[in-house]
Every structure is written in structure tokens, then in C-alpha cells.
Chain A
Amino acid sequence: MTERTANCLAKLDRMNKALRHEEPDRVPVSDFFWGNFLKRWRDEKELPEDTDIYAYYDLDWIVTVPNMDPHIKNFEIIREDAEEVLVRTGFEAVIRKKFADPMPEYVSFDTDTIEKAEAFEFDDPADDRRFFSAGDNQVAGVGDGFALNSPPWIETVKSLRPDFPVYGSQCEANEYMTRIIGGGNLLLWAGLYPEQFGHFVQRTNEWALEMLKAQIKAADGLIDGMVIWGDVAYRKDMFFHPDYWRKYYKPGLQAMVDVCHENNLPVIYHGCGNVKRIFEDFIEIGIEAYNPLESKAGLDVVDLRRKYGHQIAFCGNMDVIEWADYDKEQLKAVVLRKLNAAKGGGMIFQSDHSVPSNVSAENYEYVVNLVREYGQYPLQLGEHDIPDL
């Protein structure tokens, strides 16, 4: 078993207490970062290109990504030049990645009819290569950046484990749908072929559950929690009717969370957008914390804490637009107000999705330092204290 530093064990205690709604020494803080932000951050602070932000700020947890592609295979490079690459991945989608742009473009999906979706076959979810071999995988390799031959997941876990609480990852159905059939057909087929599409969702979640079990087995005690990546909502509302989600998506998610809990792994669920209609469902499912709690979707940790008490922990909700645009006085007011939701534990401070390049290094660091200072328990929030929370 990889030895952990005393500082890492302190971070783990901090995270676990927060997730159990106990007050640790201070509010945990970490985040997800866009690549262009990291570049800006390094440039503005004149740091070497390989400076790791998690280590630099000694952030409190980190997530890792095994090979979750439905088909384990190397990328097929269709075309590549200095500016972009066109690649087919193990989701059988063709993706165009312009290196200067933050997100890739899906050019085509092989699975473009409901019949093809019904016939779609997944590779072995427990294939050892997912966890123990280097190789190309879309979730880790084609997104904000572009990376070939991602290192073996277990080696990444082992390298981080001495210094950070390490979480594994499992995508649930909608993350697979957007990559296998595309967001457009996902939304159209939910309307045109609700049952057939729903069955594909269920089948996908059943497969993802087996992968989750295999990941936990492969980790053999080396991970401290699990992030389950969803996304069933956008700024205004859910993509589809909550009853549709409850029929076809929720049972699969419940099964994943149950397996994590059977293995003493807390779950942070990542789902963008306005999920107010099903927030109580997430509490019922028993996830430990919800992420990212997008401010732009009308979510606010103070309101959520007021409404739900300590039935669920929060991970996120710092508005990245405010983080970018506000001056120090405004930022302090925002941060200290949000820290009210951390009274009694139950909060990990992060952005409301991922820190973008609009945020300056100075503002990023200022907020982290605010959380470190004012997030010490017992919280002293001064004029920003909300007495009824």
C-alpha cells in the first residue's frame, strides 16, 4: 500500500468530515480547471510549464479517470496538422479538436439511428486494460486538451495517493449518450423513441455499473471516493421530464451509489445545470455531495442549505463569472456568504464548474486564500454571517 504523508491524511480527514457533515479543521478546497486557465495562471505567476496547480496550492482532493470508452482501442488519427486533429475514438465518434479551443467538436457518430443504438455492443467493462494499461481513451484524452496514450490509471492513482485524497470516476448514462449518439439525437430520441432510447440508457448504466465494480476492485483500496459524472440538465431546467429520468436513469445511478457505499467510498455526483426538480432524488439516492452547483443555473448553496439542511453536502457553486470580474471586496463578500453553507461541515469549496481562463491568477489565488483563512472552524464570518443558517 502506497504510503501517505501526514498532510495527505489530514486532507483526507478534512474531506471525510466535511462529507459526513462534521466540522473539520477548515473547509476543504479544490477544483477542476480549464487548460487555458492553467496556462494563464502559469504565465501570470511566471511558473514553469509543468507546475501542477494541485500541488502548488496543496488542494484537498483530486479526481482520476480510467479508460471508460465503450470500445478499448487506440485513436484513429484521420487527419492532423499544427492546428487541429480529426480522430475516431472508442465511442465510434469522429471528433475534431482544434488545439487552441477549449472544447472539441463532434463531427459524426457511427451510432446515428435508434436501431444502431439498440445493436450497440460494449467491450468488457472489467477489461484489465481499462485500469492497468496505458492507451488512448476519449474521456481522458479528448476534451479540453488532447492526449494520446494516457498512462495506466492505477499508476496515476498511486502517484497521487501519497499527497492527495484520490477519487475514481465513473460516467453514467448521459455522459455515454452524448459521446456515442450525440446530444442532438439524445434529446430527439427521448422524444421520438422514448422506450427504445430508455432501454439503451438502462443497458448503458448496467454496463457502467460493472465497470464501476471492476474499477473498485482494480483500485484495491487505493481510492478514497468516487465521482459519478452525469449531466441531465442545463441552465434553465432538465433536458427531459424528471419522470423520464426517474424511470430510465435513476435506478442505474442508485445501483452505482450503492456499490460505492458497500465499498465505503463516498460519492460526489457531477451534474451541470438546474437540477432543482430532482435534487431531492439525489438526496434519496444517498450521494454524499453534489457538484458543481452552477450559479448560472440559479443554484445557491446558502438557499440549498436553508432548504435541505444537512441531508447532502455541496461541492462547488463559486460563480466563475464573479470570480473573474469582481474586485477583492466583492469577492470577499461572495466567498464569506457562501461559507455560511459550510457551518456544521457539508461543504467543499470549488467553482461552479471549472475555472476558466477569464479568471486571473490573482483572483484565483485570492479566493483560495480567503477560503483557507475564513474557512477555519469555528467559522468567523463577521458581517457576512447569516444567523439563521
Chain B
Amino acid sequence: MSSTLNTIYDAVLVGDMKTTSENVQKALDENVAVEDILNKGLISAMSEVGSRFEAGDYFIPEMLIAARAMSAGMEIIKPLLVGAGVEPIGKVAIGTVKGDLHDIGKNLVGMMMEGAGFEIMDLGVDVTPEQFVEAIKNGADIIAMSALLTTTMPSIETTIKAIEDANLRDSVHVLAGGAPVTQEFVDKIGADGYAADASAAARKAQELLGKD
């Protein structure tokens, strides 16, 4: 790997936005393929961030500043990706379910999924089943739902029902997570996947689309 790509990788790992941006531009100036900047520099670094987070060596602040650095790098190469034929590995519509206004967990998951190469449609908080259905019609491959309260968990099941009623269940994968959510609950309500944290959610999304 080129030394510039190594520098990008290391900069993202420690959340150094300035060094990331500078070296992404430097890599472009050096005619490094934009796909390599994305995959070997940025996404690869975020994958390591995720691993460290899951291992308990990185915490949320480290993950946030790494994602911030990665986003800065992405801003530079994004306009070039389409021209280079590089597409997102999938589209994820993410939101906190109806009745729930918590967004930090959802935002973290969105960041890690973006870091893994997904295009994110952030539907926000208090998202109705109908809004999730609309997102599927707008091309979402995965619906990722977050609930932080036991009282709002039932909205996850309600949303799955709405997707089924719209005859769209077979065209989307459903991921669910949040503090009270468990694998057992997810299995019971017929979702496709559960993740205990943001990094695991990104990995699960890749797995669901066969991109792991």
C-alpha cells in the first residue's frame, strides 16, 4: 500500500481530520485510484476502528472522531466516485422508531455504516412505519430501526407489519437495535438481524447484503 494511503489510514484511526483531508488530496494528486483511497484508506481504517470498539479498546469518542475524519476524506472523493464507477455497497434507511426521540445510537450506527461503504438515508427520530415503507420504495436495501425505550420497542414490530402489508418485505432486510432490544426479541418479531453496537450493526448490514 502506498505510504500516503497508510497515512490516511493512520489519520482516520486517531481521528485526525486535517491529516486525513490533506492526504486524501495528496493521494489524488499522486493518481492513486479513488477506489483505493476509499477502500484501502478510509473504509479499511473505519473497519479497524470498529474492531477496536468491539474489542473494548476504543470508546464512543474515539469512534466519533474517526468517523469525522473519514467523512472529511469522503467529502473530497465523493464527487469522483461516480465517475470512477464506485458505488455504495448498499442503501440503508435508518431511523429511531415512532414515539422515540433518541438519536445518538442511531447516529453512531449511521456513521459506522457510512464508514463501511453504505449510503445512508437518515430518517431521523419518531419515524412512522409509513416513512420506513416510503424509504424502501425510494431504494433502501436495508431498514435499520433503533429503539431506546421498552415502551417504544413495539414500534419495531409495527413497522415490520407495515412493510409486510405493503408487500415489500421480500425486497428489504430489516435490522433492529437499541438498549432494550435483544436477539430474542428480533427473532420473535421476524426481523433479519440484530446488532448490539454500531460497529456490529455495520458488519451485520454487510453480511445481510453478502458484502462481508
Cβ proximity bits A349-367 to B, threshold 8 Å, 1 near / 0 not: 0000000111000000000
- In angstroms, Cα B105 to Cα A191, docked, is 17
- Decide if A236 touches B126 in the complex (CB within 8 Å): no
Name the B residues within 8 Å of A324 (CB-CB): 150
B123 contacts partner chain A, Cβ-Cβ < 8 Å: no
B56 contacts partner chain A, Cβ-Cβ < 8 Å: yes
A101 contacts partner chain B, Cβ-Cβ < 8 Å: yes
- Decide if A34 touches B64 in the complex (CB within 8 Å): no
A337 to chain B, nearest CB (A): 19
A320 contacts partner chain B, Cβ-Cβ < 8 Å: yes
Name the A residues within 8 Å of B62 (CB-CB): 191
A184 contacts partner chain B, Cβ-Cβ < 8 Å: yes
- Decide if B56 touches A187 in the complex (CB within 8 Å): no
Cβ proximity bits B78-115 to A, threshold 8 Å, 1 near / 0 not: 00000000000000000000011111110100000000
- Decide if A191 touches B149 in the complex (CB within 8 Å): no
Number of interface residues of B (CB under 8 A): 31
- Which residue of chain B lies nearest to A358 when distances are taken between CB atoms in the complex? B150
- Decide if A321 touches B64 in the complex (CB within 8 Å): no
Name the A residues within 8 Å of B68 (CB-CB): 188, 192
- Which residue of chain B lies nearest to A355 when distances are taken between CB atoms in the complex? B150
- Decide if B150 touches A235 in the complex (CB within 8 Å): no
- Decide if A101 touches B126 in the complex (CB within 8 Å): yes
- In angstroms, Cα B59 to Cα A234, docked, is 11
- In angstroms, Cα B125 to Cα A96, docked, is 12
- In angstroms, Cα B149 to Cα A96, docked, is 18
- Decide if A187 touches B64 in the complex (CB within 8 Å): yes
- Decide if A234 touches B179 in the complex (CB within 8 Å): yes
- In angstroms, Cα B108 to Cα A188, docked, is 11
Name the A residues within 8 Å of B61 (CB-CB): 187-192, 194, 239-240
- Decide if B107 touches A184 in the complex (CB within 8 Å): yes
Number of interface residues of A (CB under 8 A): 34
Interface residues of A in 165-196 (CB under 8 A from B): 183-184, 187-192, 194
A105 contacts partner chain B, Cβ-Cβ < 8 Å: yes
- Decide if B196 touches A236 in the complex (CB within 8 Å): yes
- Which residue of chain B lies nearest to A107 when distances are taken between CB atoms in the complex? B101
A36 contacts partner chain B, Cβ-Cβ < 8 Å: yes
**Taking each of A36, A187, A234, A324, which has the highest tally of chain B beta carbons within 10 Å of its own beta carbon?**
A187
Of B59, B100, B151, B153, which one neighbours A240 at CB under 8 angstroms?
B59
- Decide if A191 touches B15 in the complex (CB within 8 Å): yes
- Decide if A105 touches B59 in the complex (CB within 8 Å): no
- Decide if A102 touches B151 in the complex (CB within 8 Å): yes
Name the B residues within 8 Å of A98 (CB-CB): 101, 126
Name the B residues within 8 Å of A258 (CB-CB): none
B1 contacts partner chain A, Cβ-Cβ < 8 Å: no
Name the B residues within 8 Å of A102 (CB-CB): 99, 149, 151-152
- Decide if B59 touches A356 in the complex (CB within 8 Å): no
- In angstroms, Cα B103 to Cα A96, docked, is 14
Name the A residues within 8 Å of B151 (CB-CB): 34, 36, 102, 356-358
- In angstroms, Cα B116 to Cα A377, docked, is 56
A181 to chain B, nearest CB (A): 13
Interface residues of B in 118-164 (CB under 8 A from A): 125-126, 148-154
- Decide if B150 touches A236 in the complex (CB within 8 Å): no
Name the B residues within 8 Å of A236 (CB-CB): 196-197
- Decide if A235 touches B196 in the complex (CB within 8 Å): yes
- Decide if B150 touches A356 in the complex (CB within 8 Å): yes
- Which residue of chain B lies nearest to A184 when distances are taken between CB atoms in the complex? B104
B36 to chain A, nearest CB (A): 27
- Decide if A321 touches B150 in the complex (CB within 8 Å): yes
A238 contacts partner chain B, Cβ-Cβ < 8 Å: yes
- Decide if A103 touches B150 in the complex (CB within 8 Å): no
B65 contacts partner chain A, Cβ-Cβ < 8 Å: yes
A104 contacts partner chain B, Cβ-Cβ < 8 Å: yes
Name the A residues within 8 Å of B190 (CB-CB): none
Cβ proximity bits A36-54 to B, threshold 8 Å, 1 near / 0 not: 1000000000000000000
- In angstroms, Cα B101 to Cα A103, docked, is 7
- In angstroms, Cα B56 to Cα A105, docked, is 30
Q: A36-B151, A183-B104, A358-B151 are in contact. Are A191 and B64 (CB under 8 A)?
A: yes
- Decide if B180 touches A296 in the complex (CB within 8 Å): yes
A79 contacts partner chain B, Cβ-Cβ < 8 Å: no
Cβ proximity bits A97-115 to B, threshold 8 Å, 1 near / 0 not: 0101111110000000000
Name the B residues within 8 Å of A25 (CB-CB): none
**Taking each of A36, A189, A194, A235, which has the highest tally of chain B beta carbons within 10 Å of its own beta carbon?**
A235
Of A96, A184, A238, A358, which one neighbours B59 at CB under 8 angstroms?
A238
- Which residue of chain B lies nearest to A194 when distances are taken between CB atoms in the complex? B61
Name the B residues within 8 Å of A191 (CB-CB): 15, 60-62, 64-65
Name the B residues within 8 Å of A192 (CB-CB): 15, 61, 65, 68
27 examples of A-B residue contacts, CB within 8 angstroms:
A98-B101, A100-B99, A101-B99, A101-B101, A102-B149, A102-B151, A103-B102, A103-B148, A104-B101, A105-B101, A187-B61, A188-B65, A190-B61, A191-B15, A191-B65, A192-B65, A234-B105, A235-B196, A237-B56, A237-B59, A239-B59, A239-B61, A240-B61, A296-B180, A321-B180, A358-B150, A358-B153
A: which residues have CB within 8 A of B?
34, 36, 96, 98, 100-105, 183-184, 187-192, 194, 234-241, 296, 320-321, 324, 356-358
B: which residues have CB within 8 A of A?
15, 56, 59-62, 64-65, 68, 99-105, 107, 125-126, 148-154, 179-180, 182, 196-197
Please provide the 4 A-B residue pairs with the shortest distance between their CB atoms, ordered closest to farther. A191-B61, A105-B101, A191-B65, A190-B61
